[in-house]
Structure 1
């Protein structure tokens, strides 16, 4: 089995990889949240603008002004579509980064478990050696006492 010191060095390297993956995931999460916020802002703005358009329509507006409102609402719709696409891309990037972080964490944890098993194995071997030495000591002591009696 591999040397524990070597495995501990690998764990440190894996910890660095995990930390980098966590930073990338955090950045992606922030970008996703920012895109989501931008989409919500545009949706709110569009809703407010539609309410304004409806209120203006009830009080009577010129055909030209109504057309301008309508064109602006269409541009807002386009902007909403782009914002939604950007948010979906940001969500996908976040999920990919999250999976990368989970994988890095899993690899590090697997090596840590291997170290723990190796340490337990070495402790068991050491305990068996000590027990064997104690048994030999007791056996020799018994033989000496039997010869001296």
Structure 2
């Protein structure tokens, strides 16, 4: 039956769509984790900067000030790297979402093909039954009008 080939295609497309959905979900989780790390770094940097501001009001040595500045510079570098990672994760998520959307569209297209095939089969069957009914009615009419001596 023609529908069985569509059912196989639907099954395969559904598996690909589900695998794409899982990859998209993983990419989304990685993106969320990367953004959370960036926020943590930003909060830590702000806290450390506040310590520098608070310490300078009490008076700190040049060496301590330079250490604070060096550490803030390292935090800034780490934040730049983390922002780059978050950007890569965002790009990956967009790519995986597009891949999932494409697989989902294929899945839905195969479902539509199966539905159309079933409708065509149902129409064929209805025509076949109508033809049988017409032939039966014609035979009965023939038999009644010609006395059944065919």
- TM-score higher than 0.5 here? yes
Match of 2:32 in 1: 33
Query: 1:84-129 deviations in whole A, cap 9, x for unaligned?
Result: 0000001111111111111111111111100100110110111011
Match of 1:22 in 2: 21
Mapping of residues 1-149 of structure 1, within 5 Å? 3-148=2-147
**Cα separation, 2, equivalents of 1:126 and 1:135:** 14
**Cα separation, 2, equivalents of 1:69 and 1:12:** 60
Structure 2 length as normaliser, TM-score? 0.92
How far did residue 56 of structure 1 move?
A: 1.0
How far did residue 20 of structure 1 move?
A: 1.4
**Cα separation, 1, equivalents of 2:47 and 2:145:** 103
How far did residue 147 of structure 1 move?
A: 3.2
How far did residue 144 of structure 1 move?
A: 2.2
SS at match of 1:61: coil
SS at match of 2:60: coil
**Cα separation, 2, equivalents of 1:141 and 1:55:** 107
**Cα separation, 1, equivalents of 2:118 and 2:103:** 23
Which structure 1 residue ranges, 5 or more long, are not aligned?
none
Structure 1 length as normaliser, TM-score? 0.93
State how many pairs are aligned: 148
How far did residue 16 of structure 1 move?
A: 1.5
